[in-house]
Amino acid sequence: MTSVIVGTAGHIDHGKSALVRALTGSDPDRLPEEKRRGITIDLGFADLDLGGVRIGFVDVPGHERFVKNMLAGAHGIDVVALVIAADEGVMPQTREHFDICRLLGVQQGLIVITKTDLVEDELLELVASEVAELAAGSFLESAPVIPVSAKTGAGLDHLKTALKEVSLRVPARASGFLTRLPVDRVFAMKGFGAVVTGTLVSGSIAEGDELELLPTHSRVRARGVQVHGKSVARASAGQRTAVNLGGIETTAIERGMVLAPVSSLRTTQILDVKISVLGDAPRALRSRARVRLHIHAAEVLARVQVLETGSQIAPGAEGLAQLRLESPIAAVAGEPFILRSYSPSRTIAGGQILDPLAGKHRGRDLAEVRRSLAVLTAANPAAQLSIFVAAAGDLGQRKEDLAARTGWENERLDPSLNEAISQGLIINCGGVFLDPKKYATLKAAALNEVRTHHKREPLSRGLARETLRERHFAHIPSEVFRTVLTDLETAELLVSEKDLVRTSEHVLELSGSDAALRDRIDAVYESAGLEPPALDEALQAAGLTPTQKTHGRKILQLLLDRQTLVRVQGDLYFHSRHLADLTAKLRKLALEHPSDPSLDVSAFKELAGVSRKYAIPLLEFLDRERITRRVGDRRQILK
Ligand SMILES: Nc1nc2c(ncn2[C@@H]2O[C@H](COP(=O)(O)OP(=O)(O)OP(=O)(O)O)[C@@H](O)[C@H]2O)c(=O)[nH]1
Ligand SMILES: [Mg+2]
């Protein structure tokens, strides 16, 4: 069974609702005020089973004051039935509704000339030629034109046949998109609570699903799902769907909200878009113009920033622009929208979202911005992703960011991501996708920072990894930093050693005089045994004047790095050879006294051959190294 949404369109009083009633037997005008005034105010709904094709009618108001309601229903339709009364012909809202359908990208439709019972054949022919003129060059150019009378029933069978034919030409809704149900109606059902209805744009909704209403991010649960007035286990894309929501009050829901899986979509107030201005718009669309943005069932106020030279888009022309919204909405790339002037409200343009989560372009090169946006208008998913990734700069994009931007599910997103990676359009840094130029810049900066460090501190073994992170990667996802380092290591440009990074060619090559100095310091400590002098004295003994001490300390650091010397306490350094000898002696003692491998301070002094001044720091060092352990005033030898 094919499900198709057919929307009516046309001027006030031209017989749209009467036609829907004549076809389906149910009156789409449900409000008392509509019945009293004999006009449609808000959207009406009715179903028709044509055998193999299930039609969900969305009947819209023709009154010019209610075009905003018309727009809330028009966004999701597959087929338009453009209704024109034979006795009036093409009127202002005939044109406006037709323009809206064109701008929203409706692909299928038919033209119904109603009230044929009121006119002579000649007038009918006149209207038919008017209609042909209107449709020329549009998606309705070769659409069937069907004269009917809702009053006499003439032509209705013909219309049903044509409706079925057109409906069967409607392609199935593409799969692989995140579930989105723009809400076009909210009501409370006694005993059930809040019910929302809408045309399920993409995905599916099943009973029990945990969902979220945007832009408020209210968590809700689908307690029940109905399609065409019948409960179903699951509603799918393209169906008129009603969902009974748990976890929310009816008063917290408004038309224009979007029902979607939890945390899948983002809200936005800046959109990059492509706009087509209507040929009969009264003036060009200029930057700073305040407009009404109608997108799916929502209406929000926005300011236009035209991204074309001259800052305007002339009537009949197309151009790129940014829309800054006065309140947040949930939208995805590719979605069509309508712009109406703020006052008087009239349809002036339509367009398509290129980037729903755009940033401000202030100060950026407009030609460059236009080049990027031009890529988004071409249907190349991998290239599209690369533009979103580039726009995110150093922060990059994760898969869920890209899903929220595109509305693509894994089935669509994964192959495009893989293609973008294999074409080198984006770099995968452990799940964070980065623009290749940005990535190269970060890599060069990291390498350069380490090189600079070596130049500045030739005697240092390397730069602390944390320092490098703070300098260039402080606000960037850690995955990126890790990937940059791994990459530089794989390319054998950098080497990581513990918490330091150095360039692979960095070796400590000491000048002849520094090497001699190092050997002298080494010798001073070597000959001092376990009773070494304090640092200042040692440096002096190695032949350094007080002004050369800073340099001496750097050389000493090299001996510490190589573990030739060991810092035992404060300014007290020992030669590692003597510490090793001492440890060996302690172990030997322990082996000789397996039942009580311990000694007191005076025994230690004797064993080590040192005075108390050295014995205490040494014992504390040995405790820290877990060679000994203090037990009362004795030391137990551990290993
Ligand atoms: N004689 C005749 N009258 C019709 C026909 N179709 C509709 N009407 C009458 O035209 C008037 C307007 O019809 P509606 O169906 O309410 O018109 P509409 O296009 O839905 O109007 P809005 O929703 O307000 O835009 C009503 O009084 C209908 O009875 C028809 O085929 N023949
Ligand atoms: Mg009506």
DSSP codes, 577-623: HHHHHHHHHHHHHHHH-TT--EEEHHHHHHHHT--HHHHHHHHHHHH
Q: How far is CA 249 from CA 246, 256, 629, in A?
A: 8, 16, 68
- Is a pLDDT exceeding 90 seen at residue 581? yes
pLDDT tens profile 301-329: 999 999 998 999 999 999 999 999 999 99
| Residue ID of nearest Cα to ligand 1 atom 9 | 15
How many angstroms does the Cα of residue 15 sit away from the middle of ligand 2? 7
Give residue 290's pLDDT.
97
Q: Phi/psi zone of residue 89: left (φ > 0), alpha (ψ -120 to 50 degrees), beta? A: left
- What is the distance between the alpha carbons of residues 180 and 545, in angstroms, rounded to a whole number? 78
**589 exposed, middle or buried (CB, 10 Å; 0-12, 13-18, 19+)?**
middle
Mean pLDDT of all residues belonging to the chain:
94
**Quick one: average pLDDT of 253-281?**
97
How big is the CA angle at 250 (ends 25 and 291), to the nearest 5 degrees?
Answer: 85
pLDDT tens profile 54-96: 999 999 999 999 999 999 999 989 999 999 999 999 999 999 9
pLDDT tens profile 368-409: 999 999 999 988 999 999 999 999 999 999 999 999 999 999
Give residue 145's pLDDT.
97
| Residue ID of nearest Cα to ligand 1 atom 11 | 13
- What is the distance between the alpha carbons of residues 213 and 182, in angstroms, rounded to a whole number? 9
How big is the CA angle at 527 (ends 517 and 622), to the nearest 5 degrees?
Answer: 105
As beta bridge partners, residue 182 has 258
Q: Residue 60 CA: which ligand 1 atom is closest?
A: 23
Q: Hey, which bits of 263-413 come out as E strands?
A: 267-277, 285-286, 290-295, 298-306, 312-313, 318-330, 336-341, 347-355
3-class SS of residue 396: coil
**Confidence band for 549, pLDDT divided at 50, 70 and 90:** confident
Residues 6+ apart with CB under 8 A from 522: 559, 564, 565, 575
Is residue 191 in contact with ligand 1, taking CB distance under 6 Å? no
How many angstroms does the Cα of residue 19 sit away from the middle of ligand 1? 8
- Is a pLDDT exceeding 80 seen at residue 508? no
Is residue 69 in contact with ligand 1, taking CB distance under 6 Å? no
- Is a pLDDT exceeding 90 seen at residue 130? yes
Give residue 259's pLDDT.
98
Q: Which amino acid is at 380?
A: N
Share of the chain above pLDDT 90, in %: 85
Query: Among 8, 11, 12, 14, which residue has the most ligand 1 atoms within 8 Å of its CB, making it the best to mutate?
Result: 14
Give residue 461's pLDDT.
83
Give me the torsion for CA of 23, 24, 26, 30, rounded to 10°.
Answer: -80
Give φ, ψ of 451 to 5 degrees. Answer: -60, -45
Give residue 578's pLDDT.
96
Q: Which ligand is nearest to the CA of 12?
A: 1
pLDDT tens profile 196-229: 999 999 999 999 999 999 999 999 999 999 998 8
Question: H-type helices in 428-477, by residue range?
Answer: 436-456, 465-472
Is residue 118 in contact with ligand 1, taking CB distance under 6 Å? yes
Is residue 264 in contact with ligand 1, taking CB distance under 6 Å? no
User: Strand 108-114 to strand 145-147: parallel, antiparallel, or no bridges (unpaired)?
Assistant: parallel
- What is the distance between the alpha carbons of residues 392 and 370, in angstroms, rounded to a whole number? 16
How many angstroms does the Cα of residue 632 sit away from the middle of ligand 2? 98
Share of the chain above pLDDT 70, in %: 99
Q: Which amino acid is at 552?
A: G
How many angstroms does the Cα of residue 18 sit away from the middle of ligand 1? 5
Query: Among 8, 11, 12, 17, which residue has the most ligand 1 atoms within 8 Å of its CB, making it the best to mutate?
Result: 17
Q: Residue 114 CA: which ligand 1 atom is closest?
A: 31
Q: Residue 40 CA: which ligand 1 atom is closest?
A: 23
Q: Which residue has the tokens 């703070």?
A: 470
Q: How far is CA 76 from CA 80, 107, 201, 254, in A?
A: 11, 12, 7, 18
Q: Which amino acid is at 6?
A: V
Residues 6+ apart with CB under 8 A from 55: 4, 5, 6, 47, 48, 49, 163, 167
How many angstroms does the Cα of residue 479 sit away from the middle of ligand 2? 58
Give φ, ψ of 513 to 5 degrees. Answer: -70, -35
How many angstroms does the Cα of residue 242 sit away from the middle of ligand 2? 22
**Quick one: average pLDDT of 547-558?**
87
- Is a pLDDT exceeding 80 seen at residue 511? no
User: Strand 312-313 to strand 285-286: parallel, antiparallel, or no bridges (unpaired)?
Assistant: antiparallel
**Confidence band for 563, pLDDT divided at 50, 70 and 90:** confident
**Confidence band for 515, pLDDT divided at 50, 70 and 90:** confident
Q: Which ligand is nearest to the CA of 10?
A: 1
Is residue 94 in contact with ligand 1, taking CB distance under 6 Å? no
Q: Residue 83 CA: which ligand 1 atom is closest?
A: 19
* H/E segment holding residue 558: helix 549-561
| Residue ID of nearest Cα to ligand 1 atom 30 | 115
- Is a pLDDT exceeding 90 seen at residue 416? yes
Q: Which ligand is nearest to the CA of 93?
A: 1
Is residue 212 in contact with ligand 1, taking CB distance under 6 Å? no
Give residue 459's pLDDT.
78
- Is a pLDDT exceeding 90 seen at residue 504? no
- Is a pLDDT exceeding 80 seen at residue 238? yes
Q: Residue 63 CA: which ligand 1 atom is closest?
A: 25
Both tokens of residue 198? 């809408």
**Confidence band for 615, pLDDT divided at 50, 70 and 90:** very high
